């Protein structure tokens, strides 16, 4: 039972345009969501997050939108740059209690074309 799904395995975008990566979840108890970026042969690095009490969080070129009723979040990158080419994972958490496990999606490989 995949609780967090990224239905697009790959996405190709032209440099300078907007990249939109999508993520869906099924567990209504999730209350915090994160995006990680992963380059080949490196560990994932934290990119941006959003609490379920918000519907938008912005950090420079990166914006995450949360639609709780649709159980959907998206990451917007504007403008896209060649260094953004990486695999992006969304992750969800059901609270800060205990170990606070994260559930990850399958990842989307983003390629920015010059």
Partner 1 sequence: NAGVTQTPKFQVLKTGQSMTLQCAQDMNHNSMYWYRQDPGMGLRLIYYSASEGTTDKGEVPNGYNVSRLNKREFSLRLESAAPSQTSVYFCASRSYTGYEQYFGPGTRLTVT
Encoding tokens for residue 100?
A: 């606070």
Please give the backbone phi and psi of residue 14, each rounded to the nearest 5 degrees, phi first: -80, 145
Considering the rule CB under 8 A, would residue 88 count as an interface residue with partner 1? no
Q: Using CB under 8 A, which of 49, 52, 57, 74 touches partner 1?
A: 49
- How many CB atoms lie under 10 A from the CB of residue 22? 17
CB atoms within 10 A of CB 81: 13
34 scored as a contact of partner 1 (CB under 8 A)? yes
> Which one of the spans 56-64, 65-73, 75-83, 102-110 is the region binding partner 1 (CB under 8 A)?
102-110
Cβ–Cβ under 8 Å, residues 22 and 110: no
Binding site for partner 1 (CB under 8 A): 4, 6, 9, 32, 34, 36, 41-46, 49, 89, 91, 93, 96, 98-102, 104-107
């Amino acid at each position: 039972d995949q609780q967090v799904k990224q239905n697009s395995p790959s996405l190709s975008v032209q440099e300078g345009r907007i990249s939109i990566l999508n993520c869906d979840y099924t567990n209504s108890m999730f209350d915090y969501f994160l995006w990680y970026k992963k380059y080949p042969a490196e560990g994932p690095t934290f990119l941006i997050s959003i609490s379920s009490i918000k519907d938008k969080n912005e950090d420079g070129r990166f914006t995450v939108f949360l639609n709780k009723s649709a159980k959907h979040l998206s990451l917007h990158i504007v403008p896209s740059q060649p260094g953004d080419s990486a695999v992006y994972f969304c992750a969800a958490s059901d609270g800060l209690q205990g170990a606070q496990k994260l559930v990850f999606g399958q990842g989307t490989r983003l390629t920015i074309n010059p």
